[in-house]
Amino acid sequence: MNGKLDFVSRSQYSGYYLGILGTVVVVGLVALPYVVAQGFTNTLVNLFILLILANMWNVLAGYGGLVSVGQQAFIGIGAYTVLLLAQHGIEPFLAIPVAVVVGAVFAYPISWFLFRLTGGYFAIATWVVAVAAGITITGIPSLGGGTGASLPGLQSMSSVLLGAFTYWASLAVVLASLVSVYLLLRSRLGLALTAVRDNEIGARSIGVKVTRAKRIVYLISAAGCAGAGALIAISQLNVQAANVFNVQWTAYMIFAVLIGGIGSIEGPIIGSVVFIVLQQSLARFNAWYLVIVGAVAVIIAIWARGGIWGVWADRSSTKLFPVGYFLRKSSPEGDQLVTQTNK
């Protein structure tokens, strides 16, 4: 009946169409600067930065259960890494991957301190770390002190070209972050993390080294946020501690994740798009847009705990990123999913 005949697929449907769809979307996005006005790609840069942050906060809190309100520490570290390297003659675009690595390197010792704490204490400590990092950097005159410094190295580029390169760099980082998280969640570690997401004690008792898994997630999240920080530095051509270490970045990423749906790859993507659309269409209300976005997040948190994607996922098993396992069996009618009815 089963045993040797069983096999396991990673997607309920063929991944073929998803592959084609993904390729079309990526090619379209790459070609975009040739087609649309620069204002639009600039908005997309903001979307991509938010998407990276939301994606990272989602793995951190949604899978690792690590509710951090201090991810701006790594945004700042990423931005200042680019600034420091640019001051020493290194092309800012080439500094992005360095910033990513530097983010993870800083996160490692910080995690040993933070992981002694849990829950609310953990959250507050992450924030304290971010504030301390901001103050420390403000005290370094060569990095511009409190007033910040403009980013050297890109002045020779025409504004159109710079805009396009910034867009492509952001697209590259956002794709890298999505692909990394996708591959992570498809791996054995990813399945273990998903178990941690659903029930931490249960996960421990079947052999999941929870703290180790969380530390890995924390490092990945720091790396991604540092990448976003590098992009912020490049897109603003200016690095100021009060901006890059601002807790509002964390508020944005949390809003985007809550709106879209925590604990899935799709949720933060949807949430980031909704956030940016709201931000753009409410621009004339100035800072009030944040209040409205926050209200939307709160309403969703109360009435649709799984966010927009969660509402969809409750009704359909179709996913953009297939990370699951499906037990199938061979039968005379062809391969099929094991279900209650075909006993």
Partner 1 sequence: MENTPLLELIGIVKRFNKVSVAEGLAFSVADGEAVGIVGPNGAGKTSLFGIISGELHEDAGEVRLGGELLNRRDSADRCKMGIGRTHQVPRPFQQMTVFENVLVAAHQGAGLKGRDATDLASSVLSDTGLYDVANRPAGRLGLLHRKRLELARALATRPRILLLDEVAGGLTDPEVDELIKIVLKARKSGVAVIWIEHAVRALVETVDRLICIAGGRIIGDGKPAQVLAMAEVKELFLGTEPGEESALRMDHYASHGHLGDGEGRQVSP
Site residues, partner 1 (CB under 8 A) = 1-3, 6-8, 188, 191-192, 194-195, 197-210, 263, 324-327, 337-340, 343
Q: Where are the alpha helices (DSSP H) in 36-158?
A: 38-57, 72-87, 92-114, 119-138
Tell me the residue ranges of DSSP E strands in the chain: 6-9, 149-150, 238-239, 326-329, 336-337
Alpha-carbon distance of 64 to 124, in angstroms, equals 17
Q: Enter the tokens of residue 275.
A: 């956030």
Query: Which of 150, 31, 18, 174 lies closest to 79 in space, CA to CA?
Result: 150
State whether the Cα torsion 250-267-67-304 is positive or negative: positive
Read off the DSSP letter of residue 85: H
- Residue 117 CB, nearest distance to partner 1 (Å)? 14
Q: Which is nearer to partner 1, 29 or 328 (CB)?
A: 328
Alpha-carbon distance of 98 to 76, in angstroms, equals 14
Q: Which is nearer to partner 1, 43 or 194 (CB)?
A: 194
- Residue 213 CB, nearest distance to partner 1 (Å)? 9
- Residue 201 CB, nearest distance to partner 1 (Å)? 5
Residues in Cβ contact with 33 at an 8 Å cutoff, skipping those fewer than 6 apart: 41, 163, 164, 167, 168
Q: Which is nearer to partner 1, 26 or 338 (CB)?
A: 338
Q: Tokens 């910080």 — which residue?
A: 110
- Residue 206 CB, nearest distance to partner 1 (Å)? 4
Q: Which is nearer to partner 1, 203 or 234 (CB)?
A: 203
Q: Enter the tokens of residue 211.
A: 């703290």
- Residue 196 CB, nearest distance to partner 1 (Å)? 9
Q: Which is nearer to partner 1, 188 or 315 (CB)?
A: 188
Q: Which is nearer to partner 1, 248 or 336 (CB)?
A: 336
Strand order, beta sheet including 326-329? 6-9, 326-329, 336-337
- Residue 158 CB, nearest distance to partner 1 (Å)? 49
Q: Which is nearer to partner 1, 85 or 323 (CB)?
A: 323
- Residue 320 CB, nearest distance to partner 1 (Å)? 16
Helix H or strand E segment including 257: helix 248-260
